[in-house]
Structure 1
Amino acid sequence: MSHPVTLTRNGRCGLITLFSPPVNALGQSVRSGLLKALAKALDDPRVTWILLQSGGRCFSAGADIKEFGKVSRAPLLPEVIDAIESSPKPVVAWLHGVSLGGGLELAMACHYRLAAPEARFGLPEVKLGLIPGAGGTQRLPRLIGLESALVMILSGEPVGAGQARERGLVDGIIERGHASEEVRVAMGAELARRGVRPTRERELVAASEAPLAWLAAQRKGVALPASGDLAPLKAVEALEAAVSRPFTAALARERELFLECLASPQRQAKVEAFLARGRDSRSFAAGARDATRGITA
């Protein structure tokens, strides 16, 4: 059986390629492979920067939904994401197709992001009764601002590459027909020359002069519905932590809130309904197909 993550070299670039069809779900073998490939790239003196990419039809459609509710097997996604963000060598992500849930969280941990024109980005966890649990509520507002992040998280809807570029989620778009490996490496090298840029160290920007008061008002608008779905309220709480706590403490709070949602019966009911519809059980990809129709960059 071939390995789902490989490391090759193109000049000074270490190419880490994820390939786990059909949608590059971030199961345990992929997570482990990413850590091993990263370690090898960091140990290779010929490699000065890293390009993280995926084969197949998308970057990654997120977590392996079959792992939800089961005993977690190391390494967990937050550990992988922290290792990438902490890399002393610049890491650039090449994003095509969809980057959803954990896939987008992985991309946001990279120091720079390049996208294909048709790329879509989203955090659809709320549709399964969850919130992002690997830093999504902490890194997204540092990239696109607090207000835009809340809308994106609560809606669960993906955005196109053009909108992502305008908001600051991606750093550049490679036009269709020019996205060969050589072009990706050349454009990635230009970004990597700027040096390491951890997302966690970026300032969280809010349009409101009183962001906590603004979030408190939003909390009233997502009061617990009759269904008992905790996810919207927990998402607001996670963003409150992003505003009021140091990054590490806020990240830990996000994880606590994620686990609360994971343990809720409403979450289990939503996942069972998701699987009963006959969609791909390995990721969020199938659940996002309808949402991406009609969305333009």
Structure 2
Amino acid sequence: MTDKSPAGAAHARRDEDILVITLDHPPVNALSADVRRDLAAGVLAAEADPQVRAILLVGAGKNFIAGADIREFGKPPKPPALPDVCNQIEASAKPVVAVLHGAALGGGLEVALAAHYRLALSTAKLGLPEVNLGLLPGAGGTQRTPRLIGARAALDLMLSGKHLSADAALKAGLVDAVGEGDDALAAGLVYTRR
């Protein structure tokens, strides 16, 4: 492992030709302004580094991203906005792989949907539960989900608030593969290199 940057809410380091961006905002890797800022900076760094051939997004701890940071609810929004970060991920000229384990909910799933490839570990729970708060997905989930799984299944996912297991997400077409084990980083590196 090389080129370790200072730890932040999301930190980037190179593993040979893959830039690994680790989302590290305990306890559930909620999408705070710091996480969004560091994630966007990591993608920009990867784009600028000619030695980086791919970007790997992985969550520290037990979750990928469990959704929005509720500590920011009711406060003025801080940039960057999640839709902008998701659009930046999707527009990356370098392939972006998201490894989903534990909770990949709400904005967390929307970040994964913006990636070019999604690998889910068996522990992953995927969903867009915003409807339980009287909201709809606001960072591209209403567009990216139907593209992957069709309008009927996407509406069911968005309007029910239910979660999908890794196997159900694979069957539906929401993820590209289901990985073995519980080490998201190791599984992600193998999948990205393949």
Name the CA shift for 1:131/1:10 in 2 (closer, same or farther; >3 Å).
same
Residue 21 of structure 1 aligns with an amino acid whose one-letter code is P
Contact 1:20 1:30 in 2 (8 A): yes
Query: In structure 1, what is the Cα distance between the partners aligned to 2:107 and 2:186?
Result: 27
Instruction: Tell me how far 1:69 sits from its aligned partner.
Output: 3.0
Equivalent in the alignment of 2:48: 43
Q: Number of matched residues?
A: 189
Which among 65, 80, 84 is matched to residue 79 of structure 1?
Answer: 84
Q: Which has the larger radius of gyration?
A: 1
SS class of match (1:36): helix
Equivalent in the alignment of 1:62: 67
Which among 33, 38, 53 is matched to residue 33 of structure 1?
Answer: 38
Name the CA shift for 1:92/1:129 in 2 (closer, same or farther; >3 Å).
same
Query: In structure 1, what is the Cα distance between the partners aligned to 2:19 and 2:66?
Result: 23
1:75-124 residue CA offsets vs partner (Å, 9 max, x unmatched)? 01011001000000000001100100000001000000001012110111
Query: In structure 2, what is the Cα distance between the partners aligned to 1:6 and 1:185?
Result: 16
Instruction: Tell me how far 1:24 sits from its aligned partner.
Output: 0.3
Instruction: Tell me how far 1:5 sits from its aligned partner.
Output: 1.0
Instruction: Tell me how far 1:175 sits from its aligned partner.
Output: 1.4
Name the CA shift for 1:119/1:182 in 2 (closer, same or farther; >3 Å).
closer
Residue 170 of structure 2 aligns with an amino acid whose one-letter code is R
Residue 14 of structure 1 aligns with an amino acid whose one-letter code is L
Query: In structure 2, what is the Cα distance between the partners aligned to 1:165 and 1:61?
Result: 19
Contact 1:53 1:93 in 2 (8 A): yes
Which blocks of at least 5 consecutive residues in structure 1 are unaligned? Answer: 191-297
Decide which structure has greater helix share: 1
Alignment pair present for 1:184 and 2:188: yes
Contact 1:114 1:188 in 2 (8 A): no
Which blocks of at least 5 consecutive residues in structure 2 are unaligned? Answer: 1-5
Equivalent in the alignment of 2:116: 111
Task: Trace 1:91-170 onto structure 2 (pairs within 5 A).
Answer: 91-170=96-175
Equivalent in the alignment of 1:12: 17
Instruction: Tell me how far 1:181 sits from its aligned partner.
Output: 3.6
Residue 103 of structure 1 aligns with an amino acid whose one-letter code is G
Give the percent of matched residue pairs that are identical in Structure 1 and Structure 2.
49
Query: In structure 1, what is the Cα distance between the partners aligned to 2:7 and 2:19?
Result: 19
Task: Trace 1:189-200 onto structure 2 (pairs within 5 A).
Answer: 189-190=193-194
Instruction: Tell me how far 1:68 sits from its aligned partner.
Output: 2.5
Decide which structure has greater strand share: 2
SS class of match (1:24): coil
Superposed CA RMSD = 1.4
Query: In structure 2, what is the Cα distance between the partners aligned to 1:68 and 1:60?
Result: 17
Query: In structure 2, what is the Cα distance between the partners aligned to 1:176 and 1:157?
Result: 24
Instruction: Tell me how far 1:188 sits from its aligned partner.
Output: 1.5
Query: In structure 2, what is the Cα distance between the partners aligned to 1:110 and 1:41?
Result: 14
Instruction: Tell me how far 1:23 sits from its aligned partner.
Output: 0.3
Query: In structure 1, what is the Cα distance between the partners aligned to 2:126 and 2:184?
Result: 21
Query: In structure 2, what is the Cα distance between the partners aligned to 1:59 and 1:112?
Result: 14
Contact 1:18 1:30 in 2 (8 A): yes
Contact 1:61 1:98 in 2 (8 A): yes
Instruction: Tell me how far 1:2 sits from its aligned partner.
Output: 4.3
Residue 173 of structure 2 aligns with an amino acid whose one-letter code is G
